[in-house]
Amino acid sequence: MLSAIVWLPVLGSILIGILPNFSRSIALIVSGVGLLGTIAIACTFNYQDTGLQLVEHLTWIEPLGLDYHLGIDGLSLPMVILNALLVLLSVQATGKDVDRPRLFHSLLLLVSAAVTGAFLAQNLLLFFLFYELELIPLYLLIAIWGGEKRGYAATKFLIYQALSGMILLAGFLSWAWFAKAGNFDYQALAATHLPTNLQLLFLCIILLGFGIKMPLVPFHTWLPDAYVEASTPVSMLLGGIISKLGAYGLLRFAFGLFPDAWVIVAPWLAVIAVVTAVYGSLVAIAQTDIKKTIAYSSVAHLSYVLLATAAGNSLSILGAVCQMVAHGLILALLFNLVGIIEVKTGTRDINKLQGLLNPKRGLPFTGTMLILATMASAGIPGMVGFIGEFLSFQGSYTVFPLATLICIASTGLTSVYFIIIINRTLFGKLQNYNYLPKVQNYERIPAIILTLLIILLGIQPNMLISLVGNG
């Protein structure tokens, strides 16, 4: 079952090559079937079992210690579902007039396969392979279909992500060598015990690799460029799920495997989380490009995941995973809405936009959805953003009270920059346009689905908590 959801998108990309005239339809069908497959896994999942389930283990390259080992648990299940959902919505959000649709949709499916494989891999080398496989498709998606500075953004993205991969590979190889585990199986390495000094060394290496991926300050500079220059569907994937690979890696390979060293570095991680939260929020306030504001907002909100992970208790870890899911849904919605605004008005500059809520000549649907999305990002009760932040802060407060209070204060800054966006773009007199192009029904589908999920999981948070509660 797990192999099916990993390799189905690859088969879909091959099918697109055979039937190029139906690339969008094939991508929609394949990603839809993939989502149904992940839902089927969730329905059969035993939520009382804290171990791996649906395990697939085949010997692959034995001399290297590389096995095809897949498994799913409470940590990876919500990430796999989130990835499947966002890939489907990204395909739906793709314009019907996109250039080179065959290549575009094939690359989206390849990204989906690589990300799913990374979340399910239980062998460190296998994880690394999937972790790196998504790099080239994403580079091409940014470099070919991005904005004016797409070449610069794509190259910067490639350099940073390749550096992250090389650091992780060095950490994994040296860790396995010192542990004398004989292979790179996660369970085998988890059963080994290293001296605290070696744990600290390998933990710092892994933290650096995944810190670039999330990203954390000061390794974040690739993110605004990539998010801003990427097309709307690619931005939805980058913000919604790709950044979660870094957070997932911290939870799985750093916190999960180096408990002794983690206690030592946790206070420093809390400091980094505070710096990242405050810096991301303050820089977001200074932006005039809506998309860049959202990009820096993403940096700030992912710091709450780091803070909760640093605290390391059951409640904070639950909050961290919930925050990852909430962040993915909200960010995908924000990028989708900003993409619609850019297509209909030709700009993302808040100084050039006003009156978009005009019921006759503006974009009332998009404006209303944008208000709801910003409310969710600000952590308003009744939306999924609240439950993720609440559990994260509640769990981390008992360990790092000062850091938690500062991060809570930074959430207030979220309201500041989103109020600026709402006030300048949605209200006032629509002067620059006679009638803006109407948002078509198919363009509304991703925003409607994401908004409904954000509200549903906010009103019924137990649905999300029960999904990740055994992680």
pLDDT in tens, 140-177: 999 999 888 899 999 999 999 999 999 999 988 888 88
Residues 6+ apart with CB under 8 A from 235: 227, 291, 335, 339
Number of domains in the chain: 1
Average pLDDT over residues 85-89: 95
Answer whether residue 294 is part of any domain. Answer: yes
Average pLDDT over residues 355-381: 88
Answer whether residue 431 is part of any domain. Answer: yes
Domain that holds residue 389: 264-471
Q: For residues 443 and 340, give the distance between their C-alpha atoms in angstroms, rounded to a whole number.
A: 8
Confidence of residue 197 (pLDDT cuts 50, 70, 90): confident
Answer whether residue 458 is part of any domain. Answer: yes
Quick: pLDDT tens for 447-471.
999 999 999 999 998 888 888 765 4
> pLDDT value at position 471?
46
Neighbours of 259 (CB within 10 A): 11
Answer whether residue 92 is part of any domain. Answer: no
Answer whether residue 393 is part of any domain. Answer: yes
Answer whether residue 315 is part of any domain. Answer: yes
> pLDDT value at position 147?
85
Q: For residues 162 and 147, give the distance between their C-alpha atoms in angstroms, rounded to a whole number.
A: 22
Contact 395, 308 (CB under 8 A): yes
> Does pLDDT of 182 surpass 80?
no
Contact 317, 395 (CB under 8 A): yes
Average pLDDT over residues 122-133: 92
Residue found under tokens 């799920």: 241
Answer whether residue 452 is part of any domain. Answer: yes
Answer whether residue 182 is part of any domain. Answer: no
Backbone φ and ψ for 375, nearest 5 degrees, come out as -65, -40
